[in-house]
Each structure stands twice: as structure tokens, then as C-alpha cells.
């Protein structure tokens, strides 16, 4: 038996076991295999050439195979493939049902655990973080249920493809909503750090007002003129925050310009005597005064004193102190220096016949409660976001 005959018989035997290649004719001469005939599709042509080329002793393969373009020949395999897959799906329906039931049960278990709000409220420092924990639990259980269902039906490869696609989509969505994500993370950090309390008077960058509430999206203030101010939490988290209420003791200060020939030490003593005599000024820390500027045609004295904001309104106290110090210094012959030369003649009701002024009337320096009451009323009204401020946590 020559090698060509052996090769031909080997190839024919292999093709006889493959239904798509049974009609292929094989001729071998000097190790060159020639394949002829008609097959169903291009895949069969490629398969025949690959099989023949792997047989020992074959030098090369010449393929003269042609595709059968008859409608019935090409349609029957496609229909058979579809019907076969449908039959497989029908047989797999019970297994798919079990997988879906398992996924639903796992997801329901996650929702049941997440619904124990009292437990998460005890573990988390604030409602916002408690809701975040509950959402994370629901997400983990739902994903776990999906993974379990895919394991049951044997489609874990599909999970990898889905997760890969979800990762790409997640990156794109992340870039699109990065501002919202930044605001969400800032809300979380503010709810944990608690930089202020409700009714605190604060300055956030250039914005000043009384805190109403901290929601999952914004910090709400009432300004001094009664307007609502809503600042995104991403801005609040990055801003410089000045809390005027955190420390009840607060120092006010004001400047008093003296003529260049005036005695600043005498003026300092007169002003301090006045400040020490005011009942709303604290004795500890005691009032102070310093000469801060001697440039130009004036000398500038800066007076300062401390008040208790729980009993005294800061603005009223500062105004009253300025009036009384100015009056005392004028009575002592130390009037404030003017920036320019002005001549004005007028009759004033508060000037006595001898030219002296009436002393300032006693001023009401009780704390102003109007804005605080507005904030309390606002807090009593339900808002679109839950208040994250917790009086049980320290202010950082």
C-alpha cells in the first residue's frame, strides 16, 4: 500500500464520521490532497482543509470544495438549530425557575435585614449613614442572589461579561455625575463630623446666617435679613467655616481715631473705665485697648471687650459700647479725629446750653431671638430631606 492510498483512506474515514463532510471526494497524489464536492457552508470547507492538513504525510491541500447554495440545504440546519435551542430552553425551564426563586429569596432576605431601621440607627451615628448601610446591604444581597442564580443555571461566564460591561458603563456614568457623587460623599462626611448645630450662627466662606438643617444634599441657612440660603454640601465641606455660637464668649472690638496731639494713654484709660463699667461686659477676660496705628494725621486706638452671647446680643453690645466710649472721650476733651476739615453749624437737641452732650441712654442688649425663632419654625416644617444634625455628637 502506497502512502498516497493510506492518506486517502485515512481522510475518507475521518470525513465519513462528520455528516457535513461525507460527500467530499478525496484524491491524493505525491502527498498532495485534492478535495472536491459540495458542502453546506464555508465553515465545512475550512474544517475539511484543516483536517486533511493534519494527516501525516500530507504535503499540501488543494480545496476545490464549493458551498451548496440550495435554499432547503441551508434553511434546514438553521431551523433545526433554532428548534433545538428552543427545546433545550423548554427542558431548562424548571432549572431556570429554581434559579429565579433562589435569587428572589436571597434578595428578599437582604431587604428584610435592611428594613431593621432601629438596629442600623443604633449602629450608625446618624440617619443618613444608617440609610447608606441599609442600601449597601440590599445591594449586596441582590447581587449575591443574581450570582447564585447564574451558578445554578451554569451561566457564570455571562456574569463576567455583565460585570465587565457594567464597569465600563460605571466609569462613564461616574464622570457624568461626579458633581453629584462629590456632593453625596460630602454629605456623608458632614453628617459624621458635625461642624455645627441647628440655630448656630455661622459664616461659610462669604455666606453668613443661622443654621436651619443639614440635609443629604444641602445646608440650609437663614440670613440676617430673613432669606433662605441653600448651600450644596460639597461647597460646605470644602469651605472655611466660622462658627460664632460654638463658644458662648465672644470678643467685640472697634477703632477710635485720635488727633495727633492727643494723649493716647489718657484716652485708653478713659475708654477702659467705661468698658469696665458696662454690666454686659465680662470681667474675665477683662477689656483691653491698644494703639494700633500712628501713621498719618491720626492715632488709632482699638478697644476690645468680651460678652456672653447667651445673655447679650453681640451687635447691640458693640454698638452700645462704642456710643458710651465715644461720649466719655468727648467729655474728656478727646474727640475723634476727622479725616478732613469740615465746618458744620447746627442746633442739636442732645447738646446742653454749656455745649455738653447728653450721655447715651441705656440700651437693650438682650439677645435677638427673631432669626432663631424663624429657624425653629423652619425646623418644625418637614423638608424634602431628613435633618442630619445630631445634638448627641460633638461639634468638630
Q: Which is nearest to 33 in space by CA: 14, 66, 5?
A: 5
pLDDT score at 260: 87
Distance CA 285, CA 305 (A): 8
The pLDDT, as a whole number, for residue 167 is 64
pLDDT band for 305, please (50, 70, 90 cuts).
very high
Higher pLDDT, 25 or 391: 25
**Cell numbers representing residue 78 in the block:** 438553521
Indicate the pTM of the whole model: 0.57
Regarding predicted confidence, which is higher, 122 or 274? 274
The CATH code belonging to domain 249-331 is 3.30.70.100
- Right CATH number for 196-245+369-396 from 2.30.30.60, 3.40.1440.60, 2.60.120.10, 3.50.50.60? 2.30.30.60
pLDDT digits (tens, 9 = 90+) for 369-378: 778 788 888 7
Say what the pLDDT of residue 275 is: 94
Convert the pLDDT of each residue in 4-20 to its tens digit: 888 888 888 888 888 88
pLDDT at 216 over 60: yes
pLDDT at 377: 81
Q: Given the DSSP bridges, would you call strands 201-204 and 60-67 parallel, antiparallel or unpaired?
A: unpaired
Q: For the chain, what is the mean pLDDT?
A: 81
Question: How far apart are the two ends of the chain, measured CA to CA in Å?
Answer: 96
Q: How confident is the model over 48-65, as a mean pLDDT?
A: 86
| Three cell numbers, residue 245 | 455660637
Residue whose C-alpha is closest to residue 150's, from 138, 139, 162:
162
* pLDDT value at residue 288: 94
Assess whether pLDDT exceeds 80 at residue 217. Answer: yes
For residue 349, pLDDT beyond 60: no
Which of 3.30.1340.30, 3.40.50.10790, 3.40.1410.10, 3.30.70.260 is the CATH number of 3-69?
3.30.1340.30
Helices (H), 282-339: 314-331
Provide the percentage of residues in the chain whose pLDDT is more than 90: 22
Listed in sequence order, the residues at least 6 apart from 290 whose beta carbon sits closer than 8 Å to its beta carbon are 301, 302
Over pLDDT 70: what percentage of the chain?
80
HSE on the CB side for 228, CA within 13 Å? 9
User: In the structure, what pLDDT confidence band is assigned to residue 253 with cuts at 50, 70 and 90?
Assistant: very high
Residue 254 is predicted with a pLDDT of 95
pLDDT digits (tens, 9 = 90+) for 68-107: 766 655 666 667 777 877 887 788 788 888 888 988 998 8
The gap from C-alpha 177 to its chain's centroid, in whole angstroms, comes to 10
Q: Tell me what pLDDT residue 82 has.
A: 77
Among 303, 302, 295, CA closest to 260: 295
d(CA 288, CA 321) in angstroms, rounded, equals 13
Q: Is pLDDT at 176 greater than 70 in this prediction? A: no
- Residues across the chain: 396
Q: What pLDDT shows up at residue 75?
A: 66
Amino acid at each position: 500500500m502506497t502512502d498516497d492510498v493510506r492518506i486517502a483512506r485515512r481522510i475518507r474515514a475521518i470525513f465519513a464520521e462528520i455528516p457535513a463532510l461525507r460527500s467530499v471526494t478525496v484524491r491524493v497524489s505525491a502527498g498532495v490532497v485534492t478535495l472536491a464536492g459540495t458542502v453546506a457552508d464555508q465553515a465545512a470547507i475550512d474544517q475539511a482543509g484543516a483536517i486533511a492538513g493534519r494527516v501525516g504525510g500530507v504535503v499540501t491541500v488543494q480545496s476545490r470544495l464549493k458551498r451548496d447554495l440550495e435554499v432547503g440545504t441551508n434553511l434546514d440546519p438553521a431551523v433545526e438549530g433554532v428548534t433545538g435551542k428552543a427545546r433545550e430552553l423548554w427542558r431548562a425551564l424548571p432549572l431556570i425557575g429554581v434559579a429565579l426563586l433562589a435569587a428572589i429569596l436571597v434578595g428578599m432576605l437582604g431587604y428584610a435585614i435592611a428594613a431593621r431601621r432601629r438596629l442600623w440607627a443604633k449602629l450608625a451615628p446618624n440617619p443618613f449613614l444608617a440609610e447608606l448601610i441599609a442600601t449597601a446591604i440590599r445591594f449586596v444581597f441582590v447581587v449575591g442572589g443574581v450570582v447564585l442564580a447564574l451558578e445554578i443555571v451554569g451561566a457564570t461566564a455571562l456574569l463576567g461579561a455583565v460585570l465587565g460591561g457594567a464597569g465600563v458603563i460605571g466609569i462613564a456614568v461616574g464622570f457624568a455625575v461626579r458633581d453629584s457623587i462629590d456632593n453625596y460623599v460630602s454629605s456623608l462626611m458632614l453628617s459624621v463630623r458635625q461642624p455645627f448645630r441647628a440655630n448656630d450662627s455661622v459664616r461659610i466662606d462669604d455666606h453668613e446666617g443661622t443654621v436651619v438643617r443639614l440635609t443629604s444634599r444641602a445646608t440650609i441657612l437663614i440670613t440676617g435679613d430673613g432669606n433662605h440660603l441653600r448651600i450644596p454640601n460639597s461647597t460646605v465641606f470644602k469651605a472655611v467655616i466660622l462658627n460664632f455660637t460654638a463658644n458662648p464668649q465672644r470678643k467685640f472690638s472697634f477703632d477710635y481715631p485720635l488727633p495727633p496731639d492727643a494723649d493716647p494713654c489718657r484716652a485708653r484709660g478713659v475708654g477702659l473705665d467705661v468698658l469696665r463699667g458696662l454690666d454686659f461686659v465680662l470681667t474675665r477676660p477683662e477689656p483691653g485697648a491698644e494703639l494700633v496705628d500712628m501713621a498719618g494725621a491720626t492715632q488709632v486706638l482699638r478697644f476690645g471687650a468680651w460678652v456672653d452671647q447667651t445673655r447679650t446680643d453681640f451687635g447691640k453690645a458693640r454698638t452700645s459700647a462704642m456710643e458710651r466710649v465715644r461720649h466719655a472721650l468727648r467729655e474728656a476733651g478727646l474727640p475723634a479725629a476727622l479725616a478732613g476739615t469740615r465746618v458744620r453749624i447746627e442746633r442739636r437737641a442732645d447738646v446742653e446750653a454749656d455745649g455738653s452732650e447728653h450721655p447715651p441712654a441705656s440700651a437693650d442688649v438682650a439677645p435677638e431671638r427673631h432669626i432663631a425663632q424663624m429657624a425653629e419654625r423652619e425646623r418644625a416644617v418637614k423638608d424634602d430631606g431628613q435633618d442630619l444634625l445630631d445634638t448627641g455628637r460633638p461639634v468638630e
